[in-house]
Structure 1
Amino acid sequence: MTTPITPSPDIAVTGVGLVTSAGIGVDATWKVVCAGRSTAARNPLLAGLPVDISCTVPGFSAREHVGRRSSLAHDRFTQLGLTAAREAIADAGLDPLNWDGARVGVVVGCGLGGVATWETQHRRMLEKGPEAVSALLIPMLVPNMVAGHLAMDLHATGPNLVTATACASGATAIGTAVQLLRDGSCDVVVAGGTEAGVSPLMVTGFAQMGALSRRLDEPSAASRPFDADRDGFVIGEGSGMLVLEREADARARRATVRARIAGYGASADAYQMTAPDPEGVGVLQALRTALAGAGVMPDEVEHVNAHGTSTPLNDAAEAGALRKLLGEGAVVTSTKGVTGHALGAAGAIEAVLTVLTVQHGTVPPTANLQRQDAEIELDIVAGSPREQKVDVAVSNSFGFGGQNAVLVITAA
């Protein structure tokens, strides 16, 4: 006798928040992303380094956007996360003072943690001695503190986690949140990612690996996913947060449902430390798992927000996997041409942008795509946004260590 399979509850996105190099807030970011306007520029903080370009959040003030004491108690990655989470909660129409905090979880992706604090305090110790080091070094540095601070800020006493799967961290956090909702551990989960890794040491490390673009004479054109002349990524920073609920609960409280997280897949390449498997075996496995979980066939996927870092190997491997599984039917974009690569926050930022694409029927262009690599046989949006109804979309995120995370996002 066959045991009937109980369908997994649909997971609704009821709130979103963004802090990116394209702007503070969802509306500001979406406008610049749809315009395809690169945010990369020379950064005085990086002056004198082999690579001195980045994509940083414009006009961000910890005092203004978080609170008076934030600059003393929080590293920048936590400040960005708090700002995006507060916007997402307000967008969802929820009030942390009135909810049952024990049923609210927080899951945040972060690859690096408080690297700026680490560098500053290490320099202080070397120059002035141990007594000059802040007693808050560890609480400001360790990645888990962003989830802890969000819990305190939001009165959320449910499961509290930080996922670290390199540049897939934000997408992994969202997938983990979906699982918490489906198994009944939470009724609401604030999920996403945050990263503030634009520091001299981190940028130098990526440059030494050969991962960063060297287009220093034209920084606004440096991040160019899928272009024949791509030569590396541009490091960025930011945060993307989503409020997730079971759809039945969201409808019961008459919340606006922007989209659904319908499927999640994760895998490991088990291939090499930093290079993707050129055959895309792990990527295909994660894609197939996510689609199967969503009950979606490959030919039903209409849009892919690609990982698309602008590195020669990553773009080629991802494009080959997409072509093999989805064919030419899905319209593809990489928003990293605008925002740069926000590392552990990238997957969450791009998940929010994919939600907006599904909600508004607008696929943003891939900035700086002037001459598509002839080996990349995909329908990639370039130049201007493409107005198109999208019912089924995929958001890809991959990280060093061969870690892959794929989200299937569908129309509400």
Structure 2
Amino acid sequence: MNLPNARGRTMGFAALAAAGLFVAGCAQNAPQDTTDPAGESAQMIYDLSWPIFAIAGIVGVLVISVITFVVIRDRDRGQPIPEQTHGKPILEIGLTILPALILIGVAIPTVGTLMALNDYDDTECVVNVTGQQWWWEFDYPVQDGCGGITEPIVTSGQMVIPADTDVLIRGTSRDVIHSFWIPRLNGKRDMVPGRVHSLKMQADEPGIYAGQCAEFCGLSHANMRMEVVALNDGDFETWKANQLEDYESPIGEQALAGEAAFVANCSRCHQVDGITDADGVPIVSRPDLQVYPGAAPNLTNLMTRNTFAGASWDLIDQDRRDEVWNADPDEFGALYLAGVEDSWFNEIDLREWLRNAPLKKPMYADPLQLDETDGLYRGMPNLALSEDQIDDLLAYLLELK
């Protein structure tokens, strides 16, 4: 075997792997970029991380340099074992004290930043966040904050908040541990069943801020996304008023047929506030009898959101999405509040979802194999809808805005 050539190939593969890792970290459009903070909490994390990265980088370079020097200088040349000598006390003491001083220097600003991130005294708005497989529920309780909320608002996928306002998130989970993470607004916070964990969030200006569940939570963990939508005060008031408007049945023939299809097939799990049965009795969903977490996304005003199914797919087409995401902060609110219109409706993905949800998003769809859940579904099952029913449902869902 030619050892020099083998060594060269090994070094080449190592260099190629290192280059691949470096390139994998590059992206022109990275909505979950922690190095692009857009809020006070994220800015504090960013300001803390760079000095620590610099210190770690310097230490790393020094350690690697010393190791490389020693390995090259003292590599085996066939000589006898060199004479062994006792260590140098001054050097040993110095190399013990120096790391301790570095750690103290890192610990002081770290503790200060953590205390500031967990100071909730100045929060002006409260949102309850609940994780479940595999979507996020956002519940706005009655409060004086958020400009005043007189009736509860429940939504999913996109959490809408007033811009330049400190928002207190109170998070928990209905099934397994999830982790709420909007990188441009704050760090991660685990949502644990039976506990309530708090997190402060604030966005400097209107826009959409993407996030991702950061704790492995089962089959469709990678498809459990969320977005925070920040609106200026006037647009946020408009959004609240729209969420609290009374329900009105559609007037179109196909949309009315879709309403009936929704009541027959979907209302057991999905709530639409204000919808009634044929006798005028309000329909209250009972997802606790169908799915293991005991909840399903509230579909009231569904088409005021941009996403569905755990924010995994857009309700708007790509051109409209680019327009909304890249909008100037002063123009963003009007574009977002326009909701979903026929001309930019992403019908394909929603139709595929209604046709066979577990095929589009991997979920535990066979209750016979879910002994630990007493036969309850994890996620949305295949409802075996006909194409005519899907057509009717799409016409109805487009009216929910």
User: Same-fold call, TM > 0.5?
Assistant: no
Bigger radius of gyration among the two? 2
Query: If the length of structure 2 is used for normalisation, what is the TM-score?
Result: 0.30
